């Protein structure tokens, strides 16, 4: 039996778990672009996905599909049609375990997408490293927790 895969939203109000996943995809349709606020929607089919903490809010994005998101922090979490539920790959605690294997809806793909990996990369500067070292993140950790947020004395 496969290991349980877990994930959830940025604030920790909504969490999910699944053991049975299908093929991960990158969807270029305009609805996924808008729902994720990105160039594409990264999704993976789940055959037994369920919510383990909280419940997402749903938006009926078309007559054929609805999309789940956290009502507190807005994290996109899922896409559902009559064919089943797909979970957002980036919301998994270990997204590298559910990589995309296919791209779909290429007619809506943004023109610069194929050139993104050719963009110049900038290394981390000392100034940026110092800035990041001083940040306290309120983001839920990449693992299940008994409760979230932690009590003040647990911090």
- Which CATH number do you get for residue 73? 2.170.150.70
Cα angle: 150, vertex 136, 39; to 5 degrees: 100
Do the domain assignments include residue 46? yes
- pTM, full prediction: 0.88
Which among 143, 46, 107, 31 is positioned nearest to 76, based on CA atoms? 31
Q: Strands 66-69 and 76-81, how do they pair?
A: antiparallel
Number of domains the chain contains: 1
Q: Is residue 152 part of a domain?
A: no
Q: Would 91 be classed as within a structural domain?
A: yes
- In this structure, is residue 146 part of a structural domain? no
Measured CA to CA, the distance from residue 1 to residue 142 in angstroms comes to 22
pLDDT tens, position by position, 52-95: 999 999 999 999 999 999 999 999 999 999 999 999 999 999 99
Domain containing 26 equals: 12-112
Evaluate whether residue 60 is within a structural domain: yes
Structural domain contains residue 4 = no
Distance CA 95, CA 6 (A): 10
Chain centroid, CA 132 distance in Å: 22
């Amino acid at each position: 039996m496969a290991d349980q895969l877990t994930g959830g939203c940025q604030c920790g109000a909504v969490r999910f778990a699944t053991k049975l996943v299908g093929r991960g995809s990158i969807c270029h349709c305009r609805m996924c672009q808008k729902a994720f606020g990105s160039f594409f929607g990264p999704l993976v089919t789940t055959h037994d996905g369920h919510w383990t903490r909280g419940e997402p809010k749903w938006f009926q994005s078309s007559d054929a599909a609805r999309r789940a998101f956290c009502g507190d922090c807005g994290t996109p979490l899922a896409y559902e049609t009559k064919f089943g539920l797909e979970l957002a790959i980036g919301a998994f605690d270990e997204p590298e375990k559910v990589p995309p294997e296919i791209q779909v809806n290429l007619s809506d793909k943004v023109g610069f997408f194929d050139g993104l990996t050719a963009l110049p990369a900038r290394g981390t500067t000392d100034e940026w490293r110092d800035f990041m070292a001083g940040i306290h993140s309120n983001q839920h950790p990449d693992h299940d927790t008994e409760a979230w947020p932690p009590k003040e004395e647990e911090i």
